[in-house]
Structure 1
Amino acid sequence: MIALADCNNFYVSCERSFNPSLNGQPVVVLSNNDGSIVARSNEVKKLNVGMGQPFFEIERLRQEHGIHVFSSNYVLYGSMSARVMAIFGRFVEDVEVYSIDEAFFDLNGYESIYPDLTTFAHNLRSTVMQWTRIPISIGIAPTKTLAKVANWYAKRQPDASGVCMLSTPEQIRQALEQLSVDELWGIGRRYASFLKQNGIKTALEFSQCHDVWVQKHFTINGLRLVYELRGEVCRTVETQPSARKSVCVAPSFGELVGDRPTLYEALTNYVARASEKLRKQRLAAGAMTVFLHTNRFRAAVGQYSNSRSFTLPVPTNLIPELSHYAIKALDSIYKSGYAYQKVGLILSALQPDTHQTPDVFEGELDPRLLKLLPTVERLNSKLGRDKVRFAAQGFNHLWKMKQRWLSPCYTTHWKDIIITKN
């Protein structure tokens, strides 16, 4: 059996975890620059507020129903996710962290430890709630796809108390018979519309389709999905995350930017973030793409977008080296007279940083930089991010994204730790 644990309304639950007065209240969490809604409490869902809906469209509802609004606090959410996943690891050895709020468990062989898997799931659920105040739902079934289906019912059936197990053929058949194809894992809007046009409306009907037809219209991944709905394991629990293929850092600006120096500063900071990600995984980038564009929704002003991709002479993860080439790329595509909404960076052709072939003409990387970066990282780990930084990163950062309703970083910043008083 395979289990899927999913944190309910995760971003909202993180905010409620440290602010219990929000329990039972309508709450939304906004995307970058407070543009659209990326998380909703159940109270907000009942008001027919959609996922991804622009925030300005619910202003009237916000005032009428007293909706509490928060900007995305990714530091807090990442910290709480790590805590929840650590609790999962106390109960089960093989855990696949699928996303920031989801994890698969391989329960094969645990029957002797947990004779009743439903009781095990309830114990895990209550432990996570007690230790983190994050509610979770757990679905258990013979395959990953069926575990997703079970989790869907665990969230929506009040009598399930957050846990649903599909173990018998009859239970699986009844669950698939009542589940629309729209809700299937991996079936997007376009595929769901295609299936309904062909008279296939439920997950059960999709599982009964002919293999040749499925592979013709949905490729091999669609065929695997059908096999898993039939109870045949095609996707195993992967405890080792797959190696990154690329790193992208491209948040939108809080204010439109037109001057080149400010773009330099923002891009250098993005390079620093990308370098951190590479160095944590002991990877080096062999290629780079730099892009920028204006706000396409402002049709009244001039529009411009461009990008530049190239291969680096020597694969590297060092900030000065990456910044040097990123700035040169930006210079080649920059045009004055435009107000830019975003500049971004993509690092690709990743490889282990221990296997680097020096370029014949460029030579090897500066050995002084190889010693400098670890020292800077050690200092920042003690003093805080970017306490020691390169001058090109600047300090004011007026271009940073808007976060008007940002909550405290309760678990990672000393100044934000909750203090209790007698």
Structure 2
Amino acid sequence: MYALVDGKNFYASCHRIFRPDLVGRPVVVLSNRDGNIVARSDEAKALGIGMGQLFFEAKDLCQQHGVTVFSSNYELYGDLSARLMSTLTHFAPDVEVYSIDEAFLLLEEYVGIYPTYRDIGSAICSHVGRWLHLPVGVGIGPTKTLAKVANKLAKKSPDLVCVLDTPELIDEALEDFPVEDIWGVGRKSAGKLKNVGIRTAAQLRDVNDDWIQKVMTVNGLRLVHELRGRPCKLLEVNPPPKKSICTEPGFGHVIPDLVQINDALTVHLSRCCEKLRRQESLCGAVTVWLRTNPFRKTPGNKQPAKQYSNSVTVRLPHPTSSTLEIIKYAESSLKAIFRFGYHYAKVGVMLTDLVPADFRQAGVFTAGPDERLIRLAKTMDKVNKRYGRDTLRMASQLYNPEWPMKPTYLTPRYTTRWEDILEVK
């Protein structure tokens, strides 16, 4: 049996740990640059505040009903997520971290310790609530897909636990479960299924195998088998390396200056290269793009401002993970697409054609990657991990840049910074 543990309103719940006065009150969390609403407490959902809604559209409603607003605090969320996953290992040795607030557990060895699977789910909720003060929902089923279905139903249960361990319970759960809410069914696939009258998970489960493979390929066939209780998606305790690494945070305000944009590019690329080395991969190509804000108006006549966007991809002479090597090509790419006279909102970078770190193949006209630069990059990572991010950095990274976003409602990093630790009086 598989269990899916999911943090309930995770981002909002993380803030409530350190603000217990907000329990029972509406809370929302905003995205980067405080643009959109990305998390809501149940009380905020009841007010009609939508997921992904632009914050300025809901600002009056938030003020009217006393909604507490927070900017995204990813350092806090990441640390609490790590604590959550560590706590789950007390219940099962095999844990697949699916997202920042979701994890799959394999429960086969723990049937004898607890009388029933519901007791296991209740124990997980109880321990996580007592140790971390985080509410979680637990869905348990014979496959990962059915565990996902159970977790969706658990959110409506008073004890936040749902177990689908008998054919009767599975049939009852799938009978009215919307096909578009099934894990692995996208918007286009849901549209195709509805066009032929398949609207529930039970109807999808009972379709002909040949037809579903033709419409939704072999992945759709695996999904149907999972709904029938046959495991096709095994637990990924060690997830495979990413096939690409990308980042595109927005600026705090529009920027017309190439120097500051180049600084932002260097910072973003450094973060991507750290992730690249962390998963022990090398990069074979780098893509850089630049774009303005499509919603920006001119200050005077309020007309739409001039718009521009462009991108370029450069293949490297050889795969490498050295920031010093990759930054040369990224900066040249930025200069090639930059145009004066525009106010830019974002610069992004993506590393692709990733290969394992032990991949060494020299070209006809080029040698392999410079091993000294790769070792230097790894040494910088160790220093920055011990003494703090950007203790060692590229010379093109400004010491006090003006481009980063400045969240208005950012809370302290209570669990990762000494100066932000709460003081008990």
1:209 lines up with 2:207 in the alignment: yes
1:345 lines up with 2:349 in the alignment: yes
CA distance in 1, matches of 2:3, 2:283: 36
Q: 1:308 corresponds to which residue?
A: 312
1:145 lines up with 2:145 in the alignment: yes
Q: 1:70 corresponds to which residue?
A: 70
- TM-score normalised to structure 2 length: 0.94
Q: 1:369 corresponds to which residue?
A: 373
Q: 1:61 corresponds to which residue?
A: 61
1:307-349 C-alpha deviation (Å, 9 max, x unpaired): 1112111221112111111001111111111111111111111
Q: 1:394 corresponds to which residue?
A: 398
SS across alignment from 2:251: coil
Contiguous gaps of at least 5 residues in structure 2? 298-303
- TM-score normalised to structure 1 length: 0.95
SS across alignment from 1:118: helix
CA contact (8 A) 1:8 1:136 kept: yes
By how many angstroms is 1:367 displaced?
A: 5.3
By how many angstroms is 1:364 displaced?
A: 4.8
CA distance in 2, matches of 1:183, 1:317: 39
Q: 1:280 corresponds to which residue?
A: 278
Note closer, same or farther for the CA distance 1:119–1:335 as it changes in structure 2 (3 Å cut): same
1:243-278 C-alpha deviation (Å, 9 max, x unpaired): 111110211112111111111111011111011111
By how many angstroms is 1:365 displaced?
A: 4.5
CA distance in 2, matches of 1:268, 1:414: 28
By how many angstroms is 1:360 displaced?
A: 4.9
Aligned pairs for 1:107-146 within 5 A: 107-146=107-146
By how many angstroms is 1:201 displaced?
A: 2.3
Q: 1:155 corresponds to which residue?
A: 155
CA distance in 1, matches of 2:42, 2:273: 39
Question: Which residue identity is paired with 2:354?
Answer: L
By how many angstroms is 1:211 displaced?
A: 2.0
1:326 lines up with 2:326 in the alignment: no
By how many angstroms is 1:362 displaced?
A: 4.2
Query: Is 303-312 or 73-82 further displaced after alignment?
Result: 303-312
CA distance in 2, matches of 1:359, 1:405: 51
Note closer, same or farther for the CA distance 1:235–1:371 as it changes in structure 2 (3 Å cut): closer
CA contact (8 A) 2:319 2:369 kept: no
CA contact (8 A) 1:118 1:163 kept: yes
Q: 2:94 corresponds to which residue?
A: 94
By how many angstroms is 1:381 displaced?
A: 2.1
Q: 1:172 corresponds to which residue?
A: 170
CA contact (8 A) 1:256 1:341 kept: yes
CA distance in 2, matches of 1:331, 1:406: 34
CA distance in 2, matches of 1:367, 1:173: 58
1:212-234 C-alpha deviation (Å, 9 max, x unpaired): 33222222222221211111111
Query: Is 163-172 or 350-359 further displaced after alignment?
Result: 350-359
Question: Which residue identity is paired with 2:233?
Answer: R
Question: Which residue identity is paired with 2:168?
Answer: E
By how many angstroms is 1:416 displaced?
A: 0.6
CA contact (8 A) 2:145 2:183 kept: yes
Query: Is 360-369 or 113-122 further displaced after alignment?
Result: 360-369
CA distance in 2, matches of 1:195, 1:49: 30
Q: 1:260 aligns with which of 258, 261, 282?
A: 258
CA contact (8 A) 1:143 1:233 kept: yes
Aligned pairs for 1:13-32 within 5 A: 13-32=13-32
CA contact (8 A) 1:27 1:68 kept: yes
1:410 lines up with 2:414 in the alignment: yes
Note closer, same or farther for the CA distance 1:197–1:367 as it changes in structure 2 (3 Å cut): closer
CA distance in 2, matches of 1:72, 1:305: 27
Q: 2:301 corresponds to which residue?
A: none
CA contact (8 A) 2:247 2:268 kept: yes
CA distance in 1, matches of 2:196, 2:175: 17
Q: 2:187 corresponds to which residue?
A: 189
Query: Is 40-49 or 102-111 further displaced after alignment?
Result: 102-111
SS across alignment from 1:236: coil
Question: Which residue identity is paired with 2:384?
Answer: N
Question: Which residue identity is paired with 2:70?
Answer: F
SS across alignment from 1:310: strand
1:102-156 C-alpha deviation (Å, 9 max, x unpaired): 0111122432333422112211211111111111010111111111111111111
Question: Which residue identity is paired with 2:242?
Answer: R
Q: 1:297 corresponds to which residue?
A: 295
CA distance in 1, matches of 2:79, 2:166: 38
Question: Which residue identity is paired with 2:409?
Answer: W
CA distance in 2, matches of 1:119, 1:305: 55
Query: Is 179-188 or 356-365 further displaced after alignment?
Result: 356-365
Contiguous gaps of at least 5 residues in structure 1? none
SS across alignment from 2:390: coil
CA distance in 2, matches of 1:417, 1:74: 16
By how many angstroms is 1:200 displaced?
A: 2.4
By how many angstroms is 1:368 displaced?
A: 4.8
1:176-214 C-alpha deviation (Å, 9 max, x unpaired): 112122321122334334433332222112212222332
CA contact (8 A) 1:32 1:402 kept: no
Q: 2:361 aligns with which of 346, 353, 357?
A: 357
